[in-house]
């Protein structure tokens, strides 16, 4: 029995939707938005077993959301194109607008307070030129070294307390991490605001910053 062209198209669209319908696969895409990685590295970053990670990556590849290449015996994956970033962000926007549970989780990350509006990427770029902002990169050191916003200080939630004494009390602070699904920036902003700092998170993360055409520094300071 043949199917109509419209049904065939909807089947293909649904293939992409099914690929996005797993927290594990969304986590893998978040990692690949930082840059290409091998299966072993992705498994370590996401807490998946090697076999489970490979299965999820195959589903993402069938939906053409990722591509792969061989490097010796290793298989290296990368995100197919930056449009996937926009799709992931739309998922976040729809969920935040319509799901009360999302609001409850985000309020929990902010210690029960309403989080301040994020700083736009264009605004941060202008403030970097003006030199009147402190930027905190909340990602692990290896991701920071692979690329970060120029001038950003690399720290983690575990080491944040150690750098607070060196921050000016009246400083404007912007924290960012991997992107719209990353919670480290939310948690850092909440911790800093509890200490009286004017802190906000960046709208998006390094992948979105890079996609906008803003400069990215590679390596350690």
Same domain, 20 and 91: no
The lowest-confidence range among 39-43, 90-94, 106-110, 216-220 is 106-110
Supply 191's token pair. Answer: 């911790």
pLDDT at 116: 82
Q: Is 177 a catalytic residue?
A: yes
Q: Active site residue: 177, 185, 191, 199, which one?
A: 177
pLDDT at 45: 95
Q: How many CB atoms lie within 10 A of CB 118?
A: 20
Cα-based angle 91, 35, 45 (whole degrees, multiple of 5): 80
The string of pLDDT tens digits covering residues 175-221 is: 999 987 889 999 999 999 989 999 999 999 999 999 999 999 998 87
What residues make up the domain containing 169?
Answer: 85-211
Residue 51's pLDDT band (cuts 50, 70, 90): very high
CATH of the domain at 143: 3.40.250.10
The string of pLDDT tens digits covering residues 19-39 is: 999 999 999 999 999 999 999
Query: 179 or 149: whose pLDDT is higher?
Result: 149
CATH of the domain at 35: 1.10.10.10
Cα-based angle 36, 38, 39 (whole degrees, multiple of 5): 130
Same domain, 58 and 101: no
């Amino acid at each position: 029995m043949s199917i109509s062209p419209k049904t065939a198209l909807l089947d293909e669209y649904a293939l992409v939707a099914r690929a996005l319908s797993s927290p594990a696969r969304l986590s893998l895409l978040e990692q690949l938005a930082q840059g290409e990685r091998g299966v072993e590295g992705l498994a370590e970053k996401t807490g998946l077993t090697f076999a489970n990670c490979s299965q999820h990556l195959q589903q993402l590849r069938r939906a053409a959301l990722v591509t792969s290449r061989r490097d010796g015996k290793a298989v290296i994956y990368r995100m197919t194109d930056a449009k996937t970033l926009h799709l992931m962000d739309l998922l976040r926007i729809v969920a935040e607008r319509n799901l009360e549970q999302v609001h409850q989780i985000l309020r929990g990350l902010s210690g029960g307070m309403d989080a301040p509006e994020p700083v736009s990427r264009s605004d941060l770029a202008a403030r970097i030129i003006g030199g009147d902002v402190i930027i905190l990169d909340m990602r692990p050191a290896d991701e920071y070294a692979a690329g970060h916003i120029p001038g950003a200080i690399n720290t983690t939630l575990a080491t944040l307390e150690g750098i607070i004494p060196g921050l000016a009390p009246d400083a404007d602070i912007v924290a960012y991490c991997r992107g719209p699904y990353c919670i480290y920036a939310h948690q850092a902003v909440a911790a800093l605001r509890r200490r009286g700092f004017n802190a906000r998170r960046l709208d998006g993360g390094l992948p979105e910053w890079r996609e906008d055409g803003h400069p990215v520094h590679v390596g350690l300071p």
